[in-house]
Structure formats: structure tokens, C-alpha cells
Structure 1
Amino acid sequence: MNAESCNAMLRRQGGFTLVELIAAFVIFALGFGILLEVLGDAIHTTRQAQQATQAALYAQSLLDAQGIGEPLREGGSSGDFDDTYHWQLNVVRYQPQIAAGSTMAPALAAPGQAELFQLELVVSWGNQYLQHHARFVTLRSMTPPKAGGQLPSGQPPGFG
């Protein structure tokens, strides 16, 4: 091999140019930045879902216990589940709405007949800058105790 053919061979075997390396690095950096943003959003969404699920579990446990052991009473109450989650419960007697033009008159509960109560629970969590609230509303039927404190036969306390 002569010197001329060696020089020609070296020119053909050249690697990437500096411009090509910079372009590849920029494309890699953009792709990596987009990936980090997508992962950050996914983590944020997962955290919000976890907090909402925790609020729903706390709400279910509080609502399930209402009217058990002692009858429901109209009024409001509030408290804390822990340092993060707080609750506010409002209980009101519920009167079903009668459709317009209906011949049915609103029925008042007769003594010993089941009464309906609407329970509205608001669970809140967050910090001073961003508060989250979840509202849960349900109806609960209660059969008042008979005279002398006895329950209707075969019924657990508080259920009609």
C-alpha cells in the first residue's frame, strides 16, 4: 500500500462529526425531559388517587357506624380521622319529594314507623394552600324504639 491509498482510506473511515454528536445529544435530552415530565404527572395523579381513596375509606367507616348502638339525631358534628383528614357530618330528617300533580299527600311517620335521615359527610384534607374536599350523602332508615326501650322484634338496634 502506498501513502496515497492510506490517506484515502482514513478519510472514508471517519466517525461522527461534532454536529452529529450534538444533534444526537439534543434529541436524547428532549426525549429524556419529556419522559421525566410524564413520570412526574403519573406520580402526582397516583398520589391524588391514593388520597381520595383514603378519604372514601374513612367516610365509609364513619357512615357505617351511624345509627348503630344509639339512634340517629338531627344535628351536626365534626372531628379528625388523623392529622391530615378531617370530617364534618350533618344529619337531617328526610322527607321524600312528592311529584307535582300527585294525589299522594306527604306521609308523616306514624309512631313506631321507620324514619328516614339524610347523612351528609364532608371529608377534607390538604394544607393551607390547597384544600381537597369529598362529599358523601346517603339515606338511613331508623325504627324508633318501642315504649319501654324495646326494639321491634327481630331487628338490630337502629335499623328499620
Structure 2
Amino acid sequence: MRKRRDQGFSLLETLAAMFLLALCFGALMHAAGASMALNARAADYTQASLWASGLLDRQYVTEFPSTGVHEGRFDDTYRWKMTVSEPPSETFIRTTAPMRLYRIELTVEWNEKGKDASARFVTQRAVSEVPPRDVPSSGGDS
């Protein structure tokens, strides 16, 4: 008697393999879509961080904000709210150069696909107090 050898796959095995392939492909597409959404969200946070960095770098260099709450817009998408405060005078550290320490809390807000999103940045700046200018006479009394 001769042994019979089956060659190839049955229809049921082929359908099962295609079903598994479709499941794997669907999971891969879901992961790719989630990755793209996370990339877009990271881009929004990076842009907010760049806006905040620029605004915080300007503080006490070119602009001298008073203590309190300040608000503004960077562009049509990003807006900001900055709170500037001083610590209580009893916490000052005495140094030879008169310095003031300011706490700056900056919140950058934007709309992300219908939802409000925000990033918060907190820093402290030490600013030297410039004594009042006593203009000395430039030689000789007149």
C-alpha cells in the first residue's frame, strides 16, 4: 500500500493565516496612528517650550516686569500668563551686592484638537538692585 502525502495548505489553514495577518496589520496601523498623534502633541509642547524660553530669557534683560500677573499672546494659537512675585523680606540672603530674587511662574496655553492644553514653567531670577544714581560733579565747582 502506498502512503498518501498531502501537499500545500488547506483552505481553512489559509483563511486562519490571513485572519492573523489582518489582525497584526490592524495592530500595526493602530500603533502607527498613535505614534503620529504623540509626535504632533510633542511638537505642540516643544513649540510652547520655545515660546516660554524666549519670554523668560527676556525678563530682566530687556524688559522689567513688575510683580503681579501679566498676560499676553505669542500668536493666534499660544497664549501666556505670567505671575511675578518676590519672596518675603525675611527670607532674603544678605550679600555684599544688593540683590532681589524674583519668582516667575509662566503658563503657556493652547487649544489641541478641541481640548485645552498647557505647560507650566517656574524659575527664579536674581536681579541686582541698582542704587540711585548720585551723579558726581565732573571736576571743579562752578
| Pick aligned residue for 2:60 from 46, 52, 67 | 67
**2:82 corresponds to 1:89:** yes
Residue 148 of structure 1 aligns with which residue? 133
Give the whole-Å Cα distance in 2 for the aligned partners of 1:37 and 1:134.
Answer: 27
**2:43 corresponds to 1:50:** yes
TM-score by length of structure 2 reads: 0.77
Structure 1 stretches lacking a partner, 5+ long? 1-7, 97-104, 151-160
**2:18 corresponds to 1:33:** no
Contact 1:71 1:144 (8 Å CA) reproduced: no
| Pick aligned residue for 1:116 from 81, 94, 101 | 101
Runs (4+) of structure 1 exceeding 6 A deviation are: none
Give the whole-Å Cα distance in 2 for the aligned partners of 1:18 and 1:45.
Answer: 41
Counterparts in 2 of 1:68 and 1:76: CA distance versus 1, 3 Å? same
Cα displacement string for residues 31-72 of structure 1 (whole angstroms, at most 9, x for unaligned residues): 100111111111112222221111111111000000113434
What is the aligned length? Answer: 132
Counterparts in 2 of 1:108 and 1:32: CA distance versus 1, 3 Å? closer
Counterparts in 2 of 1:106 and 1:57: CA distance versus 1, 3 Å? closer
Structure 2 stretches lacking a partner, 5+ long? 136-142
Residue 130 of structure 1 aligns with which residue? 115
**Quick check: which has more Rg, 1 or 2?**
1
> Which amino acid is the alignment partner of residue 92 of structure 1?
S
RMSD of Structure 2 on Structure 1 (CA): 2.9
Higher RCO, 1 or 2 (CA under 8 Å, sep at least 6)? Answer: 1
Contact 1:72 1:142 (8 Å CA) reproduced: no
Report which of the two has the higher share of strand. 2
Contact 1:116 1:142 (8 Å CA) reproduced: yes
Residue 155 of structure 1 aligns with which residue? none
